[in-house]
Amino acid sequence: MAAYSAMSREQMAAYRKASAEGTELERYATAEALGQIRNDLARMQEAGTVVRGELAHDAEVTELDMDAQTPTATLSDCVDLVRYETYDSKARKVIPLPTEQPLRYVMTASAQRWDGRWMVTGLDTRGGQTC
């Protein structure tokens, strides 16, 4: 949970400026998760957008396998977008969320224990289920 919370904090710091520079994302995220965040940041830079506000999280570990050669965990997070905004810095205006976007949805994350610490390795942000 600590690694996921720290990754989420660093992710929001990066999204606020559309850049991972000065963040510690690589300390908490790797593999697909880090690649996904980097892709998001590239799209944000191209579009001239940043994030304002906050994402609220209510996460819990739903699966844990400490007996695997590489211990793994799955987390389920109820993400709340009520105070989250995408801001167009060129047009200087908030971009509304799509009308079909639920304000609260379930996101899942996968993590693995590497060299004695947990790393977030995957994020499923599709948000098909509300919470």
Runs of H (alpha helix) within 18-115:
25-28, 31-47
Distance CA(36)–CA(6), nearest Å, equals 17
The pLDDT of residue 13: 97
The model's pLDDT over 40-97, given as tens digits with 9 standing for 90+, comes to 999 999 999 999 999 999 999 999 999 999 999 999 999 999 999 999 999 999 999 8
Average pLDDT over residues 100-119: 93
The pLDDT of residue 127: 63
Which residues are 56's β-sheet partners? 80
Two structure tokens written together for 37:
């965040």
